[in-house]
Amino acid sequence: MAANDIDVFANEEKRNLELGGHVGFDSLPDQLVSKSVAQGFSFNILCVGETGIGKSTLMNTLFNTTFENEEGSHYENEVHLRPQTYDLQESNVKLKLTIVQTVGFGDQINKEESYKPILEYIDAQFESYLEEELKIKRSLLNCHDTRIHICLYFIAPTGHSLKSLDLVTMKKLDSKVNIIPVIAKADTVSKSELDKLKIKIMSELVSNGVQIYQFPTEDEAVAEINSSMNTHLPFAVVGSVEDVKVGNKMVKARLYPWGSVQVENENHCDFVKLREMLLRVNMEDLREQTHARHYELYRRCKLEEMGFKDTNPDSHSFSLQETYEAKRKEFLVDLQRKEEEMRQMFVNKVKETEAELKEKEKELHDRFEQLKRMHQDEKKNLEEKRRELEEEMNAFNRRKVAAETLMGQTLQGCSQPFKKDKDKKKLTCQTVTQAGARLFTYHRSHQCSRHVQHR
Ligand code: GTP
Ligand code: MG
């Protein structure tokens, strides 16, 4: 077809065709409905609130069932999230419901980082959806969509306004998820206090720029109810799974010594409003907002981070191929730079180690030389000492020999006079003996003569 033909064709007025009879494409919405019903739906609720604030009870009350509940402890070191998925069915509509609860929220002394695990969890769900989207073989319809569609933020009924933890957390989450704030355990506050608390909370949210979910008012069918419900935020809720007989009806209520609080009585609390808005009127809008607003924002930031752009600086549209090539080149340059850096680092490290080893070798060598010198000196000293000792030994031996010789000579010289002495001594003894005997004889004879004289 030539260019002129196209212009002519474009200038032609649109032709309106009149149907001759019923064709049947008005059944398209029905086809869509039956297809969606067959596929089933997924809906994911995130409950953020302090331990024991009534999260599980409210979920049980909302879905009129008892989900498995695990009581949280007040001694968790950090906040973590616990997702639980249930397959529900009402009429012929199947719903894959995931309830994610915060565990340990508000229990730490330092609460600065409490919002982080929640943010990370929400991002992780977006990430896994994006990964599925970017797969060559993708099956978005069959994969379980775990993106959070609604965050119910539980505000404690005690206190005069929001805590800083509430404000910080909601502020961090508002661009990631639809937030509906609820005042938990509303039966513990008087009506006038509740009204004041609601006004205070809303004014604080506005003054801190926290964007909460607004029920949509574009669709005429729900515009009125939604705009009226927007004025009731934050909803003051009461949860209970207890059936109590009121009049001749069994209702969900909390019994007190002075009376009962009926969960589904709009004069007692906003539970019914919440259920209507969340499940009956705006469930699809919540799912849509999650996809079109929050996920879209996440996806855009992520793809931009990865280098994808819709337009280049000259405002020409970028093709995927060009973006891929540009990113690949950038990546290769980066890789080469990193490789070069690593190589240089390795070479430097080797050089450093080599220098260190050389230094050590030199030290060892010096030490060896020193030891060798010491050893030689010691050896020399010992040699010296040995020589001295040998000399001393020789001198001693010489003296010994001389002494022995001298002694031998002395002994020989002394042996003659010794014999003469012996003889002399013998003679002397004989002489003495003889003289003694003579003296004795004289003495005896002298004694006898005296004796005779006397007689
Ligand atoms: P964790 O999972 O342990 O963090 O607690 P939770 O936030 O799930 O609270 P849960 O639903 O287990 O309720 C804790 C206590 O609060 C229970 O004793 C409930 O009966 C009570 N409770 C729950 N909802 C309400 C309510 O609306 N009003 C009052 N007064 N008490 C409630
Ligand atoms: Mg719980």
Of the residues 51, 57, 252, 268, which should be mutated to test ligand 1's pocket, given the most ligand atoms within 8 Å of the CB? 57
Specify the pLDDT at position 452.
42
154 Cα nearest atom in ligand 1: 7
pLDDT range class, residue 321, cuts 50, 70, 90: confident
Residue 204 phi/psi, 5° resolution?
-65, -40
Of 3-17, 189-203, 273-287, 384-398, which range is least confident?
Answer: 3-17
Which residues lie with the beta carbon below 6 Å from any ligand 1 atom? 49, 51-57, 69, 71-72, 101, 185, 187-188, 238-239, 254
Of 100-104, 165-169, 304-308, which range is least confident?
Answer: 304-308
Cα of 180 vs centre of ligand 2, distance in Å, is 18
**pTM flag (> 0.75):** no
Q: Which residues pair with 89 in a beta bridge?
A: 94
Instruction: Note the pLDDT tens digit of each residue in 342-363.
Output: 999 999 999 999 999 999 999 9
- The answer, yes or no, to whether residue 285 has pLDDT greater than 60, is yes
Region of 250 (left: φ > 0; alpha: ψ -120 to 50; beta: rest) is beta
Whole-Å CA distances, 300 to 293, 297, 307, 309, 327: 11, 5, 11, 9, 16
What letter represents residue 348's amino acid? Answer: N
Of 7-11, 160-164, 296-300, 411-415, which range is least confident?
Answer: 7-11
Cα of 70 vs centre of ligand 1, distance in Å, is 12
Q: State the ligand closest to the CA atom of 58.
A: 1
pLDDT range class, residue 37, cuts 50, 70, 90: confident
Neighbours of ion ligand 2 (CB under 5 A): 55-56
Cα of 56 vs centre of ligand 2, distance in Å, is 4
Specify the pLDDT at position 331.
87
Specify the pLDDT at position 383.
96
Cα of 57 vs centre of ligand 2, distance in Å, is 7
- The answer, yes or no, to whether residue 181 has pLDDT greater than 50, is yes
Of 316-325, 374-383, 422-431, which range is least confident?
Answer: 422-431
User: Percentage of the chain with pLDDT > 70?
Assistant: 85
Residue labelled with tokens 């030290």? 363
What average pLDDT is seen over the chain? 84
pLDDT range class, residue 80, cuts 50, 70, 90: confident
Q: Which residue has the higher pLDDT, 166 or 19?
A: 166
Q: Which residue has the higher pLDDT, 175 or 319?
A: 175
Instruction: Note the pLDDT tens digit of each residue in 109-148.
Output: 888 888 999 999 999 999 999 988 888 888 777 788 899 9
Q: Which residue has the higher pLDDT, 51 or 77?
A: 51
Residue with the nearest Cα to atom 28 of ligand 1? Answer: 185
Specify the pLDDT at position 454.
46
Residue with the nearest Cα to atom 31 of ligand 1? Answer: 185
184 Cα nearest atom in ligand 1: 27
Instruction: Note the pLDDT tens digit of each residue in 420-444.
Output: 555 555 555 455 455 555 554 544 5
Residue 154 phi/psi, 5° resolution?
-85, 115
